[in-house]
Amino acid sequence: MGMQRDGLIGNERQDDNGAAIVYFGDGATSQGDVNEAFIFAASYQSPLVFFCQNNQWAISEPIVLQSKIPLFRRASGFGFPGIRVDGNDVLAVRAVTDWALDRARRGEGPTLIEAYTYRMGAHTTSDDPTKYRSRDETEFWRARDPIQRVTTYLLGTGAIDQAWLDALDAESEEFAIGIREGCVSLPEPKLGDWFKYVLRRHAGVFGGPAGGIPGLRVVLLRRRHRRVRAPGGHRDRDRAGSVMPTTTMAKALNAGLRRALGPTRECCWPGRTSASSAACFGSPRGCRLSSAGTG
Ligand SMILES: Cc1ncc(C[n+]2csc(CCOP(=O)(O)OP(=O)(O)O)c2C)c(N)n1
Ligand SMILES: [Mg+2]
């Protein structure tokens, strides 16, 4: 919208025009935010390209369950064009992206691109895709690897040769080593900063001056900044003399949620992510028990 208001679209010279592109997954299209963004962009004819990488999986949720129609067709319901492209065809993706960006720059509004592809790996390091999809399916898509396809094409046309590819591999490896070393040598963040930037200290879960759940407090340790203390075990004591064992942040959060939500009839967490078969985060046991049939 900023570009639009600054008169940076619809000018005669395309070089004077601007556009934005936003990338997201098929799982994201199931969330409210994406749908609200579609409405907003359509209402204001924003110079925007929505690029959806439909890799057919939102953690363990298959696309056939997430959408009863191909995702690109959703765009027509919002009043702008949608187009599906073979997401494993690098040149086709480039061509379609250029076309959609040019439309946006000309002031013709948003476009949804659905790049149809496949998620070869796990969603996260704690996800295990062998639990929910077949090896045959993965092998089918492995044979359609986009990098292998474009490499074969460029070798075939003589645009590149093996020596060029070897030099590129060496350069990429060096780049990756630099990134890894840079990440590993980053200073350890202070645990307290999590609360500053990500989590709000909430009396209802963590306790605190305003009250909250009696006996449940998370106390930040000064020494290692990795662990937090929660009551009910055998080790340290808090100022009032209560027992305060050491636990991990994830366990403390789950304990807090379990206490706050509990296995009550009113409490359920719909959605696969919180079901007992959750591929990623798991969920507080009490909530899982009470959400039977909703996962
Ligand atoms: C109907 C429905 N509602 C909510 C969700 C929850 N959800 C939203 S995003 C997401 C995981 C991320 O998926 P995606 O955006 O496809 O990222 P990818 O790892 O595949 O790149 C999940 C599990 C869902 N999968 N389906
Ligand atoms: Mg996905």
* Tens digits of residue pLDDT in 107-127: 999 999 999 999 999 999 989
Going by C-beta distance under 8 Å and a sequence separation of 6 or more, which residues neighbour residue 51? Answer: 21, 22, 23, 24, 97, 113, 115
Residues with CB under 5 A from ligand 2 (ion): 25-27, 55, 57-58
Domain closes at, from 144, 173, 207: 144
Gyration radius (Cα) of the chain, Å: 25
Q: Are 65 and 126 in contact (CB under 8 A)?
A: no
Other C-beta atoms closer than 10 Å to the C-beta of 3 total 17
Closest residue by Cα to atom 2, ligand 1, is: 30
Short-list 249, 246, 254, 244, CA closest to 193: 249
Selected catalytic residue, list 44, 84, 106, 132: 132
Give the integer Cα–Cα distance in Å for 38 and 110: 8
- Number of structural domains (the chain) is 3
Q: CA dihedral in degrees (182, 187, 190, 191; nearest 10)?
A: 50
- φ/ψ bin of 102: left (φ > 0), alpha (ψ from -120 to 50), beta (otherwise): alpha
Percent of the chain with pLDDT over 90: 59
In this structure, the answer to whether residues 130 and 240 fall within a common structural domain is: no
In this structure, the answer to whether residues 225 and 195 fall within a common structural domain is: yes
Percent of the chain with pLDDT over 70: 68
Any atom of ligand 1 within 6 Å of the Cβ of 123: yes
In this structure, the answer to whether residues 87 and 102 fall within a common structural domain is: yes
Q: Taking 80 as the threshold, does the pLDDT of residue 88 lie above it?
A: yes
Q: Taking 70 as the threshold, does the pLDDT of residue 278 lie above it?
A: no
Q: Answer yes or no: is 295 within a domain.
A: no
Domain closes at, from 81, 116, 144: 144
pLDDT-derived band at 187 (thresholds 50, 70, 90) equals: confident
In this structure, the answer to whether residues 49 and 67 fall within a common structural domain is: yes
Q: Are 288 and 262 in contact (CB under 8 A)?
A: no
Lowest mean per-residue pLDDT among 96-100, 170-174, 238-242, 254-258: 238-242
Q: Answer yes or no: is 84 within a domain.
A: yes
Any atom of ligand 1 within 6 Å of the Cβ of 127: no
Give the integer Cα–Cα distance in Å for 129 and 70: 23
pLDDT-derived band at 50 (thresholds 50, 70, 90) equals: very high
Q: Could you tell me the pTM of the whole model?
A: 0.67
pLDDT tens digits along 204-233 = 444 444 444 444 444 444 334 344 444 444
Helix (H) or strand (E) holding 174: helix 162-184
- Tell me if residue 118 is catalytic: no
- For residue 241, the enclosing domain spans 191-290
Other C-beta atoms closer than 10 Å to the C-beta of 198 total 7
pLDDT tens digits along 234-270 = 445 555 666 555 667 777 777 777 777 666 656 555 5
In this structure, the answer to whether residues 199 and 130 fall within a common structural domain is: no
Short-list 79, 83, 117, CA closest to 100: 83
- Tell me if residue 225 is catalytic: no
pLDDT-derived band at 285 (thresholds 50, 70, 90) equals: very low
In this structure, the answer to whether residues 31 and 155 fall within a common structural domain is: no
Q: Answer yes or no: is 227 within a domain.
A: yes
Lowest mean per-residue pLDDT among 69-83, 100-114, 174-188, 192-206: 192-206
In this structure, the answer to whether residues 129 and 255 fall within a common structural domain is: no
Q: Answer yes or no: is 85 within a domain.
A: yes
Backbone φ and ψ for 290, nearest 5 degrees, come out as -85, -10
Q: Answer yes or no: is 280 within a domain.
A: yes
